[in-house]
């Protein structure tokens, strides 16, 4: 069984319960494989990053495997404005969708899903755009001051690895979902002095586990989600919180993804 998110945002849970913690989100157009069902819940594997989680089976549109395969093999088109408006072609119902939402099977302003079609006339990007460090920084600034939300992926609430994943997605590069998974990607840098704007910096806890990630900026700065998406000082020790006048995160690893 396969499905697609046909709502603005769907919460994805760690366990099959509304009381379970949200570990990520599906945005409009995200498609997935259903691995199992348990009562009113489905355990899914998200196609974009292979992340597994639970969603309410009332909150998605089932699709056939040929449709799923087409979505997997075609270019990803993503909304590139903070909030876009998608219109259901038949009912004329409006869907406000956040930046980074996917436009499946997108052609000439219309995206088609099985027997459903949706119209979108706003700004979008596709995976063919050339990757640039400037593009990464421009996208990152669009999320500035977004509140921190565990498992979040939108300007209305986002966590540290959701922030880096979405910023890179909007620049045509796939990152995995969690910080420790993202730390497995790319080329390791030996020194802070080697880092350039757009590189990723990872931070660990007292047990040595990677628990935080941010995007390096020029002039010894970093943009990251901690309380909100914010800009702080950054050096070989870690992140220096400008408000607390102290280090908030200890540097573990630097990575260049592209």
Please give the full DSSP string across 24-65, using - where no structure is assigned. EEEETT-EEEEEEEETTEEEEEETTT--EEEEETTSSEEE-H
How many Å apart are CA 46 and CA 114, to the nearest integer? Answer: 19
What pTM, to 2 d.p., does this model score? 0.95
User: Would you say 57 and 12 are in contact if contact means Cβ atoms under 8 Å apart?
Assistant: no
Q: What is the location of CATH 3.90.1720.10 in the chain? A: 133-256
For 228, the token pair is 């909100």
Give start-end residues of each CATH 2.30.30.40 domain in the chain.
Answer: 2-126
**CB burial class (10 A; 0-12, 13-18, 19+) of residue 93?**
exposed
Residues of the chain above pLDDT 70, percent: 99
Instruction: Determine the 3-state secondary structure of 234 from DSSP.
Output: strand
Please compute the mean of the pLDDT values over residues 130-157 and round it to a whole number. 95
Of 126, 123, 106, 114, which is closest to residue 90 (Cα–Cα)?
Answer: 114
108: exposed, middle or buried (Cβ count in 10 Å: 0-12, 13-18, 19+): exposed
Pairing between β-strand 52-56 and β-strand 41-46 as defined by DSSP bridges: antiparallel
> CB within 8 A of 176, min separation 6: which ones?
49, 50, 51, 165, 182, 184, 185
Residue 258 CA to residue 250 CA, distance in Å, equals 24
Kindly report, residue by residue over 170-201, the tens digit of the pLDDT.
999 999 999 999 999 999 999 999 999 999 99
Q: Where are the alpha helices (DSSP H) in the chain?
A: 65-73, 133-142, 160-169, 179-182
CA dist., res. 212 & res. 217, Å (int): 16
What are the pLDDT digits (tens) for 219-254?
Answer: 999 999 999 999 999 999 999 998 888 999 999 999
What pLDDT does residue 132 have? 87
The CATH-assigned architecture of domain 2-126 is: Roll (2.30)
Q: 133-256: CATH homologous superfamily?
A: endopeptidase domain like (from Nostoc punctiforme) (3.90.1720.10)
């Amino acid at each position: 069984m396969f499905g697609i998110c046909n709502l603005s945002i769907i919460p994805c849970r760690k366990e099959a319960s509304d009381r379970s913690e949200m570990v990520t989100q599906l945005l409009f157009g995200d498609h997935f494989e259903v691995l199992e069902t348990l009562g009113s819940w489905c355990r899914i594997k998200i196609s974009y990053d292979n992340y597994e989680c639970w969603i309410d089976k009332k909150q998605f549109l089932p699709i056939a495997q040929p449709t799923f395969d087409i979505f997997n093999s075609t270019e990803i088109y993503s909304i590139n404005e903070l909030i876009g408006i998608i219109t259901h072609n038949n009912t004329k119902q409006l869907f406000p969708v956040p930046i980074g939402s996917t436009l499946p099977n997108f052609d000439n302003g219309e995206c088609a899903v099985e027997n459903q079609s949706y119209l979108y006339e706003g700004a979008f990007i596709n995976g063919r755009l050339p990757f640039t460090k400037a593009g990464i920084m421009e996208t990152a600034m669009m999320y500035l001051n977004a509140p921190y939300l565990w498992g979040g992926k939108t300007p209305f609430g986002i966590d540290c690895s959701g922030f880096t994943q979405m910023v890179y997605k909007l620049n045509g590069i796939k990152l995995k979902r969690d910080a420790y998974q993202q730390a497995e990607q790319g080329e390791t840098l030996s020194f802070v002095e080697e880092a350039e704007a757009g590189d990723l910096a990872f931070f660990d806890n007292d047990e040595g586990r990677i628990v935080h990630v941010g995007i390096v900026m020029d002039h010894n700065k970093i943009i990251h989600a901690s309380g909100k998406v914010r800009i702080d000082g950054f050096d070989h020790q870690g992140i220096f919180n400008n408000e607390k006048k102290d280090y908030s995160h200890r540097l573990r690893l630097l990575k260049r993804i592209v």
